[in-house]
Structure formats: structure tokens, C-alpha cells
């Protein structure tokens, strides 16, 4: 008789649930830190746009402001794809041990 032991049988269900929860929390942390970096960049673009004096070729209207805000948001999203500025990764590295050490 050749009995093979399934390693999943050795792990208790509670340990498996804890591990799954930690993985979900770590994934959530990664997404949240990336979203934070995007919002940070968007606010930075907004502040930079306020520093530029008004005037120029186009008149300032409500539709222009909405378009510029949408453009800033998409520029921020594109800037944080992949590596980004590194803010999201720094937040993740700082907060991940808190989740991993949680019981």
C-alpha cells in the first residue's frame, strides 16, 4: 500500500483562512497605496496649474476647468502605472509588516 499524504491536509483550515485573509489584505494595501500615489500626483498637478498665470489663447470657462481636471486625473493615472514615482511602493513596504505580523 502506497499512501500519499496531501499537504493540504496538514494545514488546518483556520491557518489557511488566516493566510488567505492576509493575502487579500496585502493586495488591498497594494491597490490603496497605488491609488494614494495617483491622488497625490493629481493634487500636485492641480497646484502646479494654479501657479500658472491665467490668460492665453483660450478663455477660462467651466467646461475648460472640467476638461483640465479630467486631463490631470488621466495624466496622474498614466504616470503611476508600472513603477510610478515610488511613493506607492514605499507605503507598501512600510505597511506590509503590520499586516504580516497581525494574528
For 60-87, the pLDDT digits (tens) are 889 988 999 999 999 999 999 888 889 9
Asked whether the beta carbons of 46 and 65 are under 8 A apart, the reply is no
Of the candidates 79, 84, 73, 80, the one whose C-alpha atom is nearest the C-alpha of residue 49 is 73
Which of these, 38, 40, 30, lies nearest to 76 by C-alpha position? Answer: 38
pLDDT in tens, 21-72: 889 999 999 999 999 999 999 999 999 988 988 777 777 889 988 999 999 9
CA angle 41, 47, 48 (to 5 degrees): 90
Measured CA to CA, the distance from residue 42 to residue 45 in angstroms comes to 5
What pTM value is reported for the model?
A: 0.73
pLDDT of residue 16 exceeding 80: no
Question: What does the angle CA 80 – CA 82 – CA 87 come to, to the nearest 5 degrees?
Answer: 50
Amino acid at each position: 500500500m502506497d499512501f500519499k499524504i496531501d499537504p493540504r491536509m496538514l494545514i488546518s483550515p483556520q491557518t489557511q483562512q488566516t493566510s488567505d485573509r492576509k493575502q487579500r489584505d496585502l493586495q488591498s494595501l497594494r491597490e490603496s497605496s497605488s491609488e494614494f500615489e495617483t491622488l497625490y500626483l493629481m493634487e500636485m498637478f492641480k497646484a502646479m496649474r494654479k501657479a500658472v498665470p491665467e490668460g492665453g489663447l483660450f478663455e477660462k470657462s467651466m467646461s475648460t476647468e472640467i476638461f483640465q481636471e479630467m486631463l490631470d486625473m488621466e495624466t496622474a493615472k498614466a504616470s503611476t502605472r508600472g513603477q510610478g514615482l515610488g511613493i506607492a511602493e514605499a507605503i507598501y513596504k512600510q505597511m506590509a509588516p503590520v499586516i504580516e505580523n497581525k494574528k
